[in-house]
């Protein structure tokens, strides 16, 4: 971007952030932006983290340094534009960083979307106008508590329909090894069915029937749910593009996705950090399910 910006005689600021939820570390590249506001749940204090890089478009060949900062569960991170801190009231006073951080400290317990909206309202009231002259952007992120897995297992199969039977057996054995609560038959049957349909869809559609590819499945038992993820390197899938099945039998397509959605409590389609497509299936666990909990 930088050579093009220099050619245009322009520049832009940038704030790039990555959250490592395993190491509880925030890594930031700040190129002349406003920084990131970090509210600490343990102390109730808010600070603004800033880097020292120049904006993009000032020097060609610039090396953009990154910095890191630790965070804890329940902390709040806010990315914001200078339309917030540079907003002025009729007396030409700016809203400023101090008012901004004070507002965050007073309202950080709100849900992130409500916190962002409250910042907008505070700036608008301060400026005495809803029509602010500059852009006002705020993204609020609350760090959730990472739930430890009680049990985890994985298996890899070839993209052959005959291999789906192995997945069903793997899922059943995994569930039968759990306790507190023990998954009931209804849960196991439903999860087995959803995994079978998801794997079949991957083989038939993502891999176009090629039997020499791989499907990686991992199962994870949380306190309140069983999560199964199927990962593959085939073609992607957009569930929004699939029409609901015709239950009157006039059209055969769409039943696999429909069966999956009715068998589990949550379904997700995304790409993981290694670029693999992932189908995530979540089935909630309830004490006393099928009368089989200990």
Which domains, from first to last, does the chain contain? 2-142 (3.60.40.10), 151-291 (3.30.565.10)
pLDDT in the model for residue 172: 95
pLDDT in the model for residue 253: 60
pLDDT in the model for residue 288: 43
Residues (pLDDT < 50) of the chain are: 287-294
Write out the E strands in the chain. 14-20, 25-31, 36-39, 46-49, 67-70, 76-80, 138-142, 151-158, 214-221, 225-232, 266-271, 277-284
Angle between helix 112-127 and helix 96-107 axes, rounded to 10 deg:
140
Residue 277's region, left for phi above 0, alpha for psi from -120 to 50, else beta, is beta
pLDDT in the model for residue 294: 29
Contact present, 243 and 256 (Cβ < 8 Å): no
pLDDT in the model for residue 102: 96
pLDDT in the model for residue 256: 79
Spatial distance between the Cα atoms of 90 and 126, rounded to a whole number of angstroms: 9
pLDDT in the model for residue 236: 86
pLDDT in the model for residue 245: 67
pLDDT in the model for residue 287: 47
Contact present, 80 and 138 (Cβ < 8 Å): yes
């Amino acid at each position: 971007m930088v050579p093009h910006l220099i050619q245009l005689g322009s520049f832009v600021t940038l704030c790039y952030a990555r959250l490592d939820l395993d190491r509880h570390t925030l890594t930031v590249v700040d190129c002349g932006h406003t920084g990131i506001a970090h509210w600490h749940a343990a102390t109730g204090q808010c600070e603004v983290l800033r880097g020292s890089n120049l904006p993009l478009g000032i020097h060609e060949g610039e090396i953009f340094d990154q910095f890191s900062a630790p965070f804890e569960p329940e902390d709040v991170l806010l990315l914001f534009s200078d339309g917030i801190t540079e907003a002025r009231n009729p007396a030409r006073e700016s809203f400023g960083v101090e008012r901004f951080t004070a507002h965050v400290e007073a309202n950080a317990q709100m849900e992130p979307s409500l916190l962002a909206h409250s910042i907008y309202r505070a700036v608008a009231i301060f400026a005495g106008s809803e029509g602010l002259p500059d852009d006002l952007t705020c993204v609020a992120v609350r760090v959730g508590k990472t739930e430890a897995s009680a049990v985890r297992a994985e298996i890899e199969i070839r993209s052959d329909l005959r291999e789906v039977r192995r997945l069903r057996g793997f899922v059943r054995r995994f569930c039968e090894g759990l306790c507190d609560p023990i998954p009931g038959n209804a849960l196991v049957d439903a999860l087995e069915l959803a995994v079978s349909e998801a794997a079949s869809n991957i083989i038939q559609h993502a891999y176009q029937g090629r039997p020499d590819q791989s499907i990686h499945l991992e199962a994870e038992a949380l306190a309140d749910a069983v999560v199964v993820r199927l990962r593959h390197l085939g073609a992607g899938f957009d569930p929004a593009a699939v029409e609901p099945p015709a239950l009157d039998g006039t059209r055969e397509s769409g039943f696999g996705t429909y069966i999956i959605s009715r068998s589990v409590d949550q379904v997700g389609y995304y790409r993981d950090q290694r670029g693999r497509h992932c189908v995530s299936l979540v089935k909630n666990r309830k004490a006393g399910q099928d009368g089989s909990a200990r």
